[in-house]
A and B are shown apart, each in its own frame.
Chain A
Amino acid sequence: MRIRVAVTVAVLAATAALAGCAGDSSDLPVLPDQPKVAATPPAPGGEQAAPPACDPRASLRPAGALPAPGDMPAGSYMATIQERGRLVLGTSQDTLLFSSRNPFSGRIEGFDVDMGRQIAQAIFGDPDKIQIKVIGYDKRVSSAADGSVDLVADTMTANCARWADVNFSSIYYEAGQKVLVSKNSTAKRIEDLGGKRICSAAGSTSFDNIGKVKAKPVLVAVARPAFGDCLVAFQRNEVEGISTDDTILAGMAAQDPYAKVIGEKFTDEPYAMAMNKSHPEFTRFVNAVLERNRADGTWKKTYEKWLGDFGPAPAPPGARYR
């Protein structure tokens, strides 16, 4: 098991530019038990090939009114999906509240899954015509790019590097990174955790962000295949903290009464769904569905269903188009 623990120092991320998909920071070589590099490493991501300047929140504008469910325009990618009889959604199965396996029913459910189900509803008129494919965090960009899934809804941050390989929908959720520590920790913010091992999922923007935190000594970023594995590592005292988006952390804290989330958001993580770049009409379609759901209260209902415990639903993130 120790072999899999990729204790990587931030410097590794600098090699991300070598990766095929610029946005998949996880494609960097994951070195087992990499000895800690003593010199202050450049912040991960800091030396990545600069992505083309863009507004990651700006997606493709919807084209007119939504077609009726079950009657997708011929030649469009939605028609291909309709023909196949199911929408293939790529997501994870251990991010409580967003997409996790319900231990009682064995089904995968959450806010992200519902986003996918709403797209299935719009195509088929039936939210159950959906196939859930669990993909690794480091496969989110490549799965959408190679067409092995139609849609990725997996707490995925829209950023310019990823825009180079996939199309994102408009933003459906605004998250921000925080850190989870043990209940008896005296730290108030992530900067107070200098030198501690902080876990995040391999291939997530959160993992890269850990290295950018200005703490002395620098934080030791520990990569695990998924966030559930980070919580396991935390409970087994293999790491002192977990850092990722606030909502994912809230899902973890709900499972562990000896954990708490501290500090303010120190990043902005706008979530969007990722799709293949060669079907812009599908992105426009998804944006139209999101547009409608923001307006008719579906978004608010979905928020309340999964995230209602954290307070009343805010206004849905506004859509921006290019």
Chain B
Amino acid sequence: MSTALAARPGVVRRVGRLRHTSPGRLQLLIATLLALGVLTGLLAGVAGSSARAGTSDLGDRAQPLLVEAETIYSSLADADTTAAQAFLAGGLEPSTLTDNYDKDLARATTALTSAARRTAEDGSAADAVRTLSAGVAQYSALVATARANNRQGLPIGASYLSEASRLNRDTLQPQAKQLFTDAQREVEDGYGRAGALGWVALLLLSLLALMVALVLTQRYLSRRTRRTFNIPLVVATVLTALFLIGSFSILLTQQARLDRAANQGSLPVASIAESRILALQARGDEALTLAGRAGSGPYEKDFTVVAERLSVRGGPMVNSYGDLDPALGRMMTRASEGFQQYVTAHRDVRALDDSGDYEGAVKLAIGKQTTGTFEGVRADLDKAYENRKAFFTDEIGAAGNGLGVLTVGGPLLALAVCVLAFLGIRVRLEEYR
């Protein structure tokens, strides 16, 4: 401590003394320019690579995780609906429904495997993935037992099915929802990291400082030496200007792309996903109400809430999607019109059931027309979802462009500026030898 205090005035005095001689001043200028050059180079590398890492993490991990979480959620909801419908049909499950169920389960497990790779070791997302992996195996075992019993005509099959449905609705779907919410948060964080705003701001500041330092140095030299231009320093200034403009435009483009990816990609993807999950939930509510044979109960209440949410203007389904892309707007309009048709059919189903015509209600609910209407809604939502997913992928790809050039080119340019500045001032320094 005491030595440091003693040494400090010495260093300061020595550097201070340099100010008073011309060669000393030139040495100070070299040191300043080199320091700023190195700092700028380092910052360019760090800002470029951190924005690049953030962008690719967003595009290759966070957003795919969101998509996978949605796949898990909607496949589970669909599997539950399908199983309940197969039960309603009576007799042997119709093969189209068992095929659907098998596909749902395959989709859910595949998505789970990739989601496991994309989540951190601990945290609620990882917990959700673990619970889901164990739960899906248990769920499929229960459904398999239900089917085997049903094949033998044993009513216990129905009890296995309701056990499976409880597991799906009470445990698996909430976990899938948790994973979806976590993934949404990771995407939001991902945009922050991809922007790397702190590093970018520092880089631009240090570039400006380097620029100012170069200009002031040249002004000093031209006054001192009556030589108007110092060629190496002029070249260094031009390079720095190019550097400034180049990195500014690369980063500006990246931010603009990120903004578009967020507002026109991630955001609509999440709300279309919500629409799809809610629609599937409504269809499941209908099947479970019928399977329970207890008249309009809690599932019907849930249906009403869901249908309300899907009809409300500014909600996940009825929104200004057309402003983003006219084709997307058409898909979503078709989907929401189809859904209203389905809700009308559902009301008829409830009216039949509540007036005592259970078999008529089942026939209408799982019949060709209602199924066709619902599948139409789903197909439109699927298309809309893919549309936005593709948009996101394009924008994120474009956002990453140029960041590589900045990461590698930035430090090289800074090095060149340093060398030129050194050369330019050394020539003047030689004159004092």
A residues within 8 A CB of B292?
A: 134
Q: Does B391 contact A (CB under 8 A)?
A: no
Q: Assess whether B362 is in contact with A228, with CB atoms less than 8 Å apart.
A: no
Interface status of B171 (Cβ within 8 A of chain A): yes
Contact residues of A between 99 and 147, Cβ < 8 Å to B: 100-106, 108, 131-136
Q: Which interface class (under 10, 10 to 19, 20 to 34, 35 or more) fits A?
A: 20 to 34
Counting chain B residues whose Cβ lies within 8 A of the other chain, the interface size class is: 20 to 34
With A1-B167, A133-B295: A232-B159 Cβ-Cβ less than 8 Å: yes
Other-chain contact of A94, B155, B170, B358, B359 (Cβ < 8 Å): B155
Our pick among A4, A132, A133, A226 for the contact of B159 (Cβ within 8 Å) is A226
Contacts A/B (CB < 8 Å), 20 sampled = A1-B171, A94-B155, A96-B155, A100-B155, A101-B158, A102-B155, A103-B154, A103-B155, A104-B91, A106-B88, A106-B89, A131-B356, A132-B293, A133-B293, A134-B293, A135-B294, A148-B295, A229-B162, A252-B156, A255-B149
Top 4 A-B pairs, shortest CB-CB distance: A106-B90, A228-B159, A131-B356, A134-B293
In contact, B166 and A4 (Cβ under 8 angstroms): yes
A255 in contact with B358 (CB, 8 Å): no
- Chain B residues with CB under 8 Å of A134's CB are 292-294
For window 79-108 of A, CB contacts with B under 8 Å fall at 85-86, 88, 93-94, 96, 100-106, 108
Chain A residues within an 8 Å CB radius of B149? 255
B89→A228 contact, CB < 8 A? no
Interface residue? B336 (CB, 8 A):
no
Partner of A3, one of B154, B158, B170, B295: B170
Given contacts A1-B170, A255-B155, are A108 and B163 in contact (CB under 8 A)?
Answer: no
1/0 per residue A138-162: CB within 8 Å of B? 0000000000100000000000000
- Cβ-based interface call for B153 (8 A): yes
- Give chain B's interface secondary structure class: helix
The interface of chain B, by Cβ under 8 A from chain A, is 88-91, 145, 149-150, 153-160, 162-163, 166-167, 170-171, 292-295, 356, 358-359, 362
Chain A residues with CB under 8 Å of B145's CB are: 235
Question: Are A4 and B170 neighbours in the complex by a CB distance under 8 Å?
Answer: yes
Give chain B residues whose Cβ lies under 8 Å from the Cβ of A94. 155-156, 158-159
| Nearest-CB residue, chain A, relative to B294 | A134
Q: With a CB–CB cut-off of 8 A, which chain B residues contact A88?
A: 356
Contact, CB under 8 Å: B150 / A103: yes
Cα A231 to Cα B149 with chains together (Å): 12
Q: Which of B88, B293, B359 has most A Cβ within 10 Å?
A: B293
Contact present for A131 and B358 (CB under 8 Å): yes
Partner of B293, one of A85, A93, A148, A231: A93
* Minimum C-beta distance from A142 to chain B (A): 13
- For the complex, what is the distance from the CA of A252 to the CA of B295, rounded to whole Å? 27
How far in angstroms is the closest Cβ of chain B from A171? 26
Measured between beta carbons, the chain B residues less than 8 angstroms from A226 are 159
Nearest B residue to A106 by beta-carbon distance?
B90
**Which chain A residue has the least Cβ–Cβ distance from B295?**
A133
Is there an interface contact between B294 and A103, defined as CB atoms closer than 8 Å?
no
A256 CB contacts on chain B under 8 angstroms: 156
Q: A103-B90, A103-B91, A135-B294 are in contact. Are A231 and B158 (CB under 8 A)?
A: no
Give A108 to B358 CA distance when docked, in angstroms. Answer: 11
Q: Given the complex, which residues of A lie within 8 Å of B160, measured CB to CB?
A: 232
- Extra 11 A-B pairs, beta carbons < 8 Å, given A103-B154, A231-B156, A232-B156: A93-B293, A94-B156, A103-B150, A103-B158, A104-B153, A105-B91, A131-B358, A133-B295, A228-B162, A235-B156, A252-B156
- The reply to whether B294 and A232 form a contact with Cβ atoms under 8 Å apart is no
A228: which of B90, B158, B359 is its contact (CB, 8 Å)? B158
Question: CA A104 – CA B158 in complex, angstroms?
Answer: 12
Cβ contact within 8 Å between B163 and A1:
yes
Cβ-defined contact, A255 with B170, below 8 A: no
The answer for the CA separation of A136 and B294 in the assembled complex, in Å, is 9
The one of A85, A136, A231 in contact with B356, judged by C-beta atoms closer than 8 angstroms, is A85
**Inter-subunit contact B362/A106 (CB<8 Å):** yes
Residues of B within 8 A of A135 (CB): 294
Known: A93-B293, A232-B160. A105 touches B356 (CB 8 A): no
**Least CB distance, A247 to chain B, in whole angstroms:** 15
CB distance from B34 to the nearest CB of A (A): 68
Cα distance A215–B77 in the bound complex, in angstroms: 45
Q: Which residue of chain A is the closest to B293 with respect to CB atoms?
A: A134
| Residues of chain B within 8 A of A255, CB atoms compared | 149, 154-156
Distance, CA A88 to CA B145, complexed state (A)? 33
Rounded to whole angstroms, the CA-CA distance of A136 and B292 in the bound complex is 10
B contact residues around A231 at 8 Å (CB): 156, 159
Cross-chain contact A232 with B170 (CB below 8 angstroms): no
CA of A183 to CA of B374, assembled, Å: 48
B150 to chain A minimum Cβ distance, whole angstroms, is: 5
CB distance from A63 to the nearest CB of B (A): 28
Q: Please give, as numbers and ranges, the residues of chain B lying within 8 Å of A1 by CB-CB distance.
A: 163, 166-167, 170-171
Chain B residues within an 8 Å CB radius of A133: 293-295
**Residue from the set A1, A96, A136 with the largest chain B CB neighbour count within 10 Å:** A1
Q: How far is the CA of A102 from the CA of B90 in the complex (A)?
A: 8
Which residues of chain A are near B294, meaning CB under 8 Å? 133-136
Closest beta carbon of chain B to A285's beta carbon, Å: 20
Report the separation of the CA atoms of residues A88 and B356 in the bound assembly, to the nearest whole angstrom: 8
A105 contact from B88, B90, B157, B162, Cβ within 8 A? B90
Q: How far apart are the CA atoms of A86 and B88 in the complex, in Å?
A: 22
Within A195-242, the residues touching B (CB, 8 Å) are 226, 228-229, 231-232, 235
Docked pose: A10 CA to B89 CA in angstroms? 40
Which chain A residues border B155 with CB–CB below 8 Å? 93-94, 96, 100-103, 228, 255
Q: How far is the CB of A288 from chain B (nearest CB, A)?
A: 25
Asked if B358 and A132 sit within 8 Å, CB to CB, the answer is yes
